[in-house]
C-alpha cells in the first residue's frame, strides 16, 4: 500500500509540474509574440532599409545561444525578449515590401491567419491527445540540415546566373512542412515532460511560429501572383 501511495503521489507531482510547465511556456510565448508584434509595427513605421532584416537576424541568432547558457538565471527573461524583439523588428522591411503591393495587406493577413490556425490546430491536437512525437527528432534534425544546405545553394546559385525563383517556392513549402513537424515535436516534449525549462521551450515554439509565418508569407505572395 505504501508503494502504491508513493507512486500515486509521484504521478500527481509530475502532473502538476507538467501543467505548470505548459502554463508558463504558453504565457511567456504569448508575451514574446506580443512584444515581437510591437517591434515589427515600430519597424514598419520607421521603415529601416532592407538589409536591416539580415543584420537583426544575425544578431538574434547570436543571442540565441546566450539564453541557453543563462536559462536558469535572472537574465534569461530579458534575453528572450531581446531575442524576439530583434526578430520582430527585422520583420518590418519584409512586411513593408509586401504591404507596398496592391493586395499586400491581404497577403500579410492571410499568412498571419494561416500561421495562427496551423499553430493552434497542431498544438491543440497534441495537448488534447498527449501523443508522443519525440520519435520525429531524428527526421526533423536531418530535414533541418538539408534545408540549411538548400538555403546556402539558393544564396550562391544566383551569383552564377542560375534562376532559382521556383526553387525558392519549393524551399518555402518544405519549410512550412518542417515547421509543422517541429510544432508537433516541441509541443509533445512540453506535454510529456521532456523539457525541464520553460524559457527554452518558449524559444523553440517562437522560432517554429516565426519561420512558419515567413515561409507562408512567401507562398501566399506567390499564389497571389505577386
pLDDT at 16 over 80: no
Helix (H) or strand (E) holding 54: helix 52-63
Per-residue pLDDT of 123-138, as tens digits, reads: 999 999 989 998 999 9
**All residues at 6 or more sequence positions from 71 whose CB lies less than 8 Å from its CB, including other chains:** 197, 199, 200
At 9 the pLDDT is 46
Per-residue pLDDT of 96-106, as tens digits, reads: 999 988 888 99
At 160 the pLDDT is 67
Burial of residue 19 (number of CB atoms within 10 Å: 0-12, 13-18, 19+): exposed
At 67 the pLDDT is 64
How many angstroms separate the CA atoms of 212 and 216, rounded? Answer: 6
At 222 the pLDDT is 86
pLDDT at 68 over 70: no
Grid coordinates standing for 139? 527526421
Grid coordinates standing for 43? 519597424
Q: How many domains does the chain have?
A: 1
- Model confidence band, residue 7 (pLDDT cutoffs 50, 70, 90): very low
How many angstroms separate the CA atoms of 209 and 211, rounded? Answer: 6
At 106 the pLDDT is 93
At 76 the pLDDT is 80
Mean pLDDT to the nearest integer, 193-208:
89
> C-alpha 114: how far from its chain's center?
14
189-211: string of b/e by CB count within 10 Å (b at 16+)?
bbbeeebebbbbbbbbbbbbbbb
Range in 7-11, 86-90, 125-129, 171-175 the model is least confident about: 7-11
Q: Backbone dihedral region of 73: left (phi > 0), alpha (psi from -120 to 50 degrees) or beta?
A: beta
Range of the domain at 215: 2-223
At 41 the pLDDT is 95
Across the chain, where does the E strand assignment appear? none
Coil, strand or helix at 192: coil
Grid coordinates standing for 111? 499568412
Q: Say which residue, 166 or 1, is predicted with more confidence.
A: 166
Q: What is the pTM of this model?
A: 0.88
Q: How many CA atoms lie within 13 A of 123 on its CB side?
A: 16
Amino acid at each position: 500500500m505504501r508503494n502504491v501511495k508513493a507512486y500515486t503521489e509521484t504521478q500527481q507531482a509530475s502532473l502538476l509540474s507538467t501543467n505548470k510547465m505548459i502554463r508558463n511556456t504558453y504565457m511567456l510565448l504569448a508575451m514574446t509574440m506580443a512584444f515581437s508584434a510591437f517591434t515589427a509595427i515600430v519597424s514598419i513605421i520607421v521603415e529601416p532599409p532592407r538589409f536591416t532584416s539580415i543584420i537583426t537576424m544575425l544578431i538574434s541568432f547570436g543571442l540565441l545561444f546566450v539564453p541557453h547558457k543563462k536559462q536558469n538565471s535572472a537574465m534569461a527573461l530579458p534575453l528572450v525578449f531581446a531575442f524576439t524583439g530583434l526578430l520582430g523588428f527585422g520583420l518590418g522591411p519584409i512586411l513593408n515590401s509586401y504591404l507596398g503591393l496592391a493586395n499586400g495587406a491581404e497577403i500579410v493577413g492571410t499568412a498571419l491567419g494561416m500561421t495562427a490556425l496551423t499553430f493552434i490546430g497542431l498544438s491543440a491536437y497534441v495537448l488534447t491527445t498527449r501523443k508522443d512525437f519525440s520519435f520525429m527528432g531524428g527526421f526533423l534534425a536531418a530535414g533541418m540540415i538539408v534545408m540549411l544546405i538548400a538555403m546556402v545553394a539558393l544564396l550562391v546559385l544566383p551569383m552564377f546566373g542560375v534562376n532559382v525563383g521556383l526553387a525558392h517556392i519549393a524551399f518555402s513549402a518544405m519549410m512550412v512542412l518542417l515547421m509543422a513537424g517541429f510544432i508537433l515535436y516541441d509541443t509533445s516534449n512540453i506535454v510529456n515532460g521532456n523539457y525541464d525549462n520553460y524559457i527554452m521551450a518558449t524559444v523553440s515554439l517562437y522560432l517554429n511560429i516565426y519561420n512558419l509565418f515567413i515561409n507562408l508569407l512567401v507562398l501566399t505572395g506567390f499564389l497571389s501572383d505577386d
